[in-house]
Amino acid sequence: MAQAVEAIRNKDHAPTIPEIRRLLLRASSVLASSANMDSDIIHYLVALPITAFTPLSLAAGVDAWTWLLRQRPEAEIAVIGEISAGWLETIRKGKGLFSTSMNYRDPFEVPVEYAPSDKKVMDLELAKARKMLRPHLLLVQVLSSQFQAVKYREEGIMVSLIRLMMRSLIAAHKMR
């Protein structure tokens, strides 16, 4: 898994989505069947899909994380902590929601055009925005689900989620 993460980071021969899914499910099954939780495997279980940061890789990650958390609830704090660390890495690298590539210009600074909008351009921009924002949407759904499940019983996860939200709000200036 470490090699796959490095390949993605270096933009070398990156693994395909089926390979990522296979690696994630294999790592989840190892963690579910082992007596101890290996923190390195948990780290790469979360880091691999977040490093790839595509909707399909994160969907595979969500499947693997959910399966592991249903089999081994004691892994919950470690998995949520790694997801939070991955989210913070997306802030640092300016990915997805925190990317500046889709920032808009103030409509009052742009000259007025009296031509009709080009539907093809609008559809292309919409598809680009969906592809960029979908990974964070999947992470928000996972974190929201975990929040609802643990809000009255796990103080550590609550503190982690609050810190994540505070750092996201601090980075909100990137989301113009």
Residue 149 lies in a domain: yes
- pLDDT, tens digit (0-9, with 9 covering 90-100), for 8-62: 888 888 899 999 999 999 999 999 999 998 999 999 999 999 999 999 999 999 9
| CA proximity to 46, closest of 18, 79, 7 | 79
User: Would you say 83 and 139 are in contact if contact means Cβ atoms under 8 Å apart?
Assistant: yes
Q: Residue 111's pLDDT is what?
A: 79
Q: Residue 176's pLDDT is what?
A: 61
Q: With 90 as the cut, is the pLDDT of residue 162 above it?
A: no
- pLDDT, tens digit (0-9, with 9 covering 90-100), for 75-110: 998 999 999 999 999 999 989 888 888 777 777 777
Residue 168 lies in a domain: yes
Residue 134 lies in a domain: yes
SS3 125: helix
- Going along the chain, which residue ranges are E strands? none
Query: How far apart (Å, rounded) are the C-alpha atoms in residues 40 and 82?
Result: 11
Q: Residue 158's pLDDT is what?
A: 82
Q: Give the tokens for residue 47.
A: 């880091």
Residue 45 lies in a domain: yes
Query: How far apart (Å, rounded) are the C-alpha atoms in residues 80 and 13?
Result: 29
Residue 95 lies in a domain: yes
Q: For the whole model, what pTM was predicted?
A: 0.84
Mean pLDDT of 108-134: 84
Number of domains in the chain: 1
CA distances to 54, 61, 104, 105, 171 from 57, in Å: 5, 6, 28, 31, 24
Categorize the per-residue pLDDT at 121 as very low, low, confident or very high, splitting at 50, 70 and 90: confident
Residue 46 belongs to domain spanning? 2-102+117-174
Mean pLDDT of 150-156: 76
User: Would you say 88 and 139 are in contact if contact means Cβ atoms under 8 Å apart?
Assistant: no
Residue 107 lies in a domain: no
